[in-house]
Amino acid sequence: MSDFVILSLILFLVVCLILTLAGFVYYSGLLSEIVVRTGSPPVRKMTVAYKFKKGSYKDRGAAFTESCSIAPQLCSIALYYDNPNQTDADCCRYAVGSILSQAEEKPDEELQRVYEKFGFQVISFPEVSCAVTSSFPNHCMLSPICGAYRVFPELHSYIAERGLNAYPFIEICKGDLIHYMCPLENQEAFSVPELLEKRTEKEEETEHKNGDQEKDAEEMHT
């Protein structure tokens, strides 16, 4: 085989690789324009089966997989309660699960029992009239990762620049779009019970620590 043929084959493979990568980048949405706005959220009130997690948001994939394996036809949802830029990765709190029903629909009782059998908790979140929202194409398994990489920094910037009180960050995989929303009202209603329990435990630890410090100070003065 001549050198010319070999070089031609190498060039052909390189071009194919470049075109494949370019196609993936385009299809994955990495080049999509990220539009952040304030307005009506993409979902109304909803009932969710979830599991509460603590740790790096990068590890959320396993929880998504578990939830989707039970009922892949349902929309997936994740609620992120901490800013990873301000909180250690191991201390970030989040909830991951599936939306059992929306608006006035009632959850499928049999499906709900299946989720509960596998350790999921069920909670209802209210409808809000205003939220910071955005979206990202949901075309492949890597779309949630690409979306988080592209959208979350834009949401943080938008909220900080306008001095908005918007939290938690909510991610909803619905059809061919991933919706992102940060409620501007009734935020505490989106806190799962485990989050409130953790806060209470932390407050008790702080009070206990402060009490010990005061006791030590009194002993030093006596």
- Specify the pTM: 0.79
Q: At what angle do helices 61-70 and 109-117 cross, to 10 degrees?
A: 140
- Mean predicted lDDT score pLDDT of the chain: 85
Quickly list DSSP for 83-134.
-TTTS-GGG-EEEEEEEEEETT----HHHHHHHHHTT-EEEEE---S-EEEE
Q: pLDDT (tens digit, 9 = 90+) per residue, 144-183?
A: 888 888 999 999 999 999 999 999 999 999 988 999 999 9
- Three-state DSSP class for residue 194: helix
pLDDT band for position 1 (50/70/90)?
Answer: low
User: What are the structural domains, with CATH classification, of the chain?
Assistant: 42-205 (3.20.80.10)
Non-local (6+) Cβ contacts of 130 within 8 A are: 38, 39, 40, 41, 183, 184, 185
Cα-trace Rg, the chain:
23
pLDDT higher than 60, residue 140? yes
Mean pLDDT (whole number) for 172-199: 90
pLDDT band for position 128 (50/70/90)?
Answer: very high
> What length does the chain have?
222
139 burial via Cβ count (<10 Å: 0-12, 13-18, 19+): middle
